[in-house]
Structure 1
Amino acid sequence: MRMRLRDYTASVLVTMLSAAFGVLLLQGTAVLTTLIAGDTIGEKESVQVALSLVAAVFFTIAVYVGGVVTANTVGTVIAGRTRVIALYRLVGATATSLRRAVAVDGLIVGVVGSILGLGVASLISSVSVSVGVSTGAIPALSYEIFSPQLVAPVIAVVLVTWLASWVGSKRILEVTPIQAGAAAVEPSQEETASRAVRNATAFTLIGIGGVLLAGGVLLGQVSMLGVLVGLLGGILSFSGIILGAPLFMPPILRLVGRMLGRGPAGRIAAANAIRNPARSTRATIGLVIGVTLVTMFAVAAQSYVDIINASREAYPADYGDSDQVLALTITVFAVLFGFSALIAAVGMVNNLSLSVLQRTRELGLLRALGFTRGQIRRMILAESIQMSVAAVGFGLVLGIIYGWAGAMSLLGSILGSDFSLPSVPWLVVVLAVVAAGVLSTAASVAPSRRATRISPVAALAVE
């Protein structure tokens, strides 16, 4: 079995962005290292080590996010093609062979996207350095933009994409030939709650990750290596959140949905989150990832600025000339975490669009029962709003926690700062919230218009 090319468009884009992110991290760190080498702050070995640690952390986050988004995209595509997969099973294809075919497609997507990402990142870096030197923004030094190390992010992204496709295609094992004569069936709330092993694993990961995250913050007060412990804790805890999301996200969505009114469209929108927990979670988790990333990096960057300023006041001899380094570091990493947010945004928009388009049959049934096109659109809009509110609220909480923990675990010791509360740049957060709302609404409303243009009879005949 081979998926259609358009099913993988978002995955290719996510893979390209992930690879470009990793390559830019290495190139940006090399440029920063060259720039600060002659400064007072740059002479500190701890600063050089900190830059390397930050690059490693950001690269790991980029690859991890790309893998999660790719796995979620593949899972969404397969969920919408349950009947087609069942037909393959009916004519003799095994679940293993079908899953292997999806994994091969994922490997191809990884190779193509990574090569494109390497080219895009190299072009951006070359042009940026050339413009910076010609305009006098940065001195004319010998910047090492191209190095053999750039192969590492390309290989890493290819392997992660292949693994994400394999993990995302696990649903194929659950598809039986009998489903060839029926529409795609999503697990119910009761089935989701009864998955004892999955749920126990999710809560175990959250618990262990939370302990490691706290340990990283404490270790960060005496050593910058605490950021590595915090990174592991963040990955484990967020993996547990994603794994357990079908269990606790639907109730949050339903609570938000009740605030949208008691009309037919609002009630159905609120009930859909509980009736189809897997589908609503797939559509929501991309937005959670995006908001978490943007908030996390914004809080970490603001905490970084605050700690630098506090250290400059306490140790003016060591940090008195840090203005240029501070500005350059923030600029470079602002571009880099922007790539991470873009990765999550692409996955979010793709999953929301696919989720609506794959519900053509369901929307046709509602039309046959008397719903007008306007009511269908209002229902989709209500679902989009409830997903946006729930995901944004959840993502803000996670982002503030992760951003503060990352800043404290890395900078708590090397800059001599005291234990402090999170620094939240509310302007950035508000802009992220507005962008998330616009993206989620546009991603849901546009495909819903296409779906409602089909007559109820034709929609009910859609496979």
Structure 2
Amino acid sequence: MRMRLRDHTASILVTLLSSAFGVLLLQGTSVLTTLVAGDDISQKQSVQLALSLVAVVFFAIAVYVGGVVTANTVGTVIAGRTRVIALYRLVGASATSLRRAVAVDGLLVGLVGSVLGFGVASGIASGSVGLGVATGAIPDLSYELFSIGLIVPVVAVILVTWLASWVGSRRILDVTPIQAGAAAVEPSRDEASARPVRNVVAFLLIGLGVMLLAGGVALGLVSMFGLLVALLGGILSFSGIVLGAPLFMPAILRLVGRMLGRGPAAKIAAANAVRNPARSTRATIGVVIGVTLVTMFAVAAQGYVDTIMRGREAYPADYGDSDQVLSMTITVFAVLFGFSALIAAVGMVNNLSLSVLQRTRELGLLRALGFTRAQIRGMILAESIQMTVAAVGFGLVLGIVYGWAGAQSLLGSIQGGGFALPSVPWLVLVVAVLAAAVLSTAASIAPSRRATRISPVAALAVE
């Protein structure tokens, strides 16, 4: 079984962005290191160590987010092709062979996307440095943009995409040949809850991750290596949240759905979140990832700026004229943070669009029961609104916690650091919330129009 090219489009784009992110990260760190080499603040080993640690953390985040989004995308595609997979099983194909085919597709997707990402990143880095030197924004120094180390993010993204495809295709194991004669059915709430091993693992990951986050913050008061502990805690805890999301996200969605009114469209929209927890979770988690990333980087960057400013006021001789370093660091981080948000946005739009298109049969049934096209579109818009509100609220909380923990664990031990409360740039967060709302709405309205243009009889015949 091979997925169609259009099924791979979003995954290729995600791997391209992940690879470009990793390559740009290494190149940006190299440029920053060269740029600040002659500055007073850069003479301190702590600054060099901080740049290296930030590079490792940002790259790990880029690869991790790419892997989560890719696995989520593959899972969404497979969920919509249950009947096709069941037909393959009916004619003798084994679940293992089908999963292997999906994994091979993932390997090819990772290879194509990573190579393209390397080219895109190299072009952006070379062009940006050339433009900066030409305009006088940065001095004309010997910047090392290309090194053997750049192959690391390329290879890492290829392997992560292959692994993510294998993990995302695990749903194939649940498909039985008898499902070839029926429409694809998502796991119910009871089925999603009746997975004790998965649920226990999810809660263990969350608990262990929270403890490591706290440990990283505490260690960060005496050493910058607390950032690595906090990074591991963040990855483990968020993995647990993604794994256990089908248990609690539907309840959050239903609570938000009750605020949308008591009309038929609003009631069905609210009920769908609980009736199909796997589907609603897959669509929502993309928004959570995007908002969490944007919030995390915004809070961490604001914490970095505040710490440097406190250090300049308290220790002017040690920090010297750090304006250029501060400006360039924020610029590089802003570009990298933009790439992270774009990775998550692609996954969010793709999963929301697929979730609507794969419900053509369900929408046809509602049309046959008397729902008008306007009511169908209203129902999908209501679902999009409740997903956005629930996911944005949840993502903001996670992003503030992760961003604060990252900044605190990295900067707590430097002069001007110490323990500080989260620095929240509310303007940036408001823009991120509005962007998430626009993206999620646009991602659901367009495919819903295509789905509702099909007559009820034709829609019911869709496999």
Q: TM-score range by the shorter chain?
A: over 0.9
1:209 aligns with 2:209: yes
Mind listing any 5+ residue stretches in structure 1 that lack a counterpart? none
1:228 aligns with 2:228: yes
Q: Which residue of 2 aligns with 1:7?
A: 7
Q: Which residue of 2 aligns with 1:148?
A: 148
Q: Which residue of 2 aligns with 1:331?
A: 331
SS in 1 for 2:39: coil
SS in 2 for 1:329: helix
Letter aligned with residue 18 of structure 2? S
Letter aligned with residue 109 of structure 1? V
Q: Which residue of 1 aligns with 2:411?
A: 411
**CA–CA distance in structure 2, aligned partners of residues 190 and 97 of structure 1:** 29
SS in 1 for 2:413: helix
After superposition, residues 292-307 of structure 1 pair within 5 angstroms as 292-307=292-307
Letter aligned with residue 51 of structure 1? L
Letter aligned with residue 24 of structure 2? L
Q: Which residue of 2 aligns with 1:98?
A: 98
Q: Deviations over 1:349-380 (max 9, x none)?
A: 00000000000000000000000000000000
The offset of 1:416, in angstroms, is 3.7
Q: Which residue of 2 aligns with 1:123?
A: 123
After superposition, residues 21-100 of structure 1 pair within 5 angstroms as 21-100=21-100
Q: Which residue of 1 aligns with 2:264?
A: 264
Q: Which residue of 2 aligns with 1:317?
A: 317
Q: How many residues align?
A: 463
* Structure 1 consecutive aligned stretches of length 4 or more whose deviation exceeds 2 Å: none
The offset of 1:195, in angstroms, is 0.8
Letter aligned with residue 401 of structure 2? I
SS in 1 for 2:38: coil
SS in 2 for 1:413: coil
**CA–CA distance in structure 1, aligned partners of residues 416 and 235 of structure 2:** 27
After superposition, residues 245-284 of structure 1 pair within 5 angstroms as 245-284=245-284
The offset of 1:192, in angstroms, is 1.2
Letter aligned with residue 252 of structure 1? I
**CA–CA distance in structure 1, aligned partners of residues 58 and 453 of structure 2:** 44
SS in 2 for 1:37: helix
The offset of 1:341, in angstroms, is 0.5
CA contact (8 A) 2:299 2:425 kept: yes
The offset of 1:191, in angstroms, is 1.1
Q: Which residue of 2 aligns with 1:242?
A: 242
The offset of 1:414, in angstroms, is 2.0
**CA–CA distance in structure 1, aligned partners of residues 368 and 211 of structure 2:** 52
**CA–CA distance in structure 1, aligned partners of residues 46 and 310 of structure 2:** 17
Letter aligned with residue 260 of structure 1? L
SS in 2 for 1:141: coil
CA contact (8 A) 2:227 2:410 kept: yes
The offset of 1:185, in angstroms, is 1.0
**CA–CA distance in structure 1, aligned partners of residues 43 and 418 of structure 2:** 23
**CA–CA distance in structure 1, aligned partners of residues 118 and 288 of structure 2:** 27
After superposition, residues 388-403 of structure 1 pair within 5 angstroms as 388-403=388-403
TM normalised by structure 2 equals 1.00
Q: Which residue of 2 aligns with 1:344?
A: 344
**CA–CA distance in structure 1, aligned partners of residues 400 and 143 of structure 2:** 35
Q: Which residue of 2 aligns with 1:138?
A: 138
CA contact (8 A) 2:114 2:157 kept: yes
**CA–CA distance in structure 2, aligned partners of residues 94 and 206 of structure 1:** 34
Q: Deviations over 1:83-102 (max 9, x none)?
A: 00000000010000000000
The offset of 1:320, in angstroms, is 2.6
**CA–CA distance in structure 2, aligned partners of residues 142 and 415 of structure 1:** 30
Q: Deviations over 1:147-185 (max 9, x none)?
A: 111100000000000000000000001100000000111
**CA–CA distance in structure 2, aligned partners of residues 403 and 58 of structure 1:** 12
The offset of 1:418, in angstroms, is 2.5
Q: Which residue of 1 aligns with 2:354?
A: 354
CA contact (8 A) 2:296 2:404 kept: yes
Letter aligned with residue 423 of structure 1? S
TM normalised by structure 1 equals 1.00
Letter aligned with residue 26 of structure 2? L
Q: Which residue of 2 aligns with 1:290?
A: 290
Q: Is the deviation greater in 409-418 or in 116-125?
A: 409-418
Letter aligned with residue 247 of structure 2? L
SS in 1 for 2:294: helix
Aligned CA-pair RMSD: 0.5
Letter aligned with residue 354 of structure 1? L
The offset of 1:417, in angstroms, is 1.6
The offset of 1:194, in angstroms, is 1.3
**CA–CA distance in structure 2, aligned partners of residues 155 and 414 of structure 1:** 34
1:430 aligns with 2:452: no
**CA–CA distance in structure 1, aligned partners of residues 234 and 207 of structure 2:** 11
Letter aligned with residue 424 of structure 1? V
CA contact (8 A) 2:315 2:415 kept: no
**CA–CA distance in structure 2, aligned partners of residues 189 and 178 of structure 1:** 21
SS in 1 for 2:22: helix
CA contact (8 A) 2:380 2:444 kept: yes
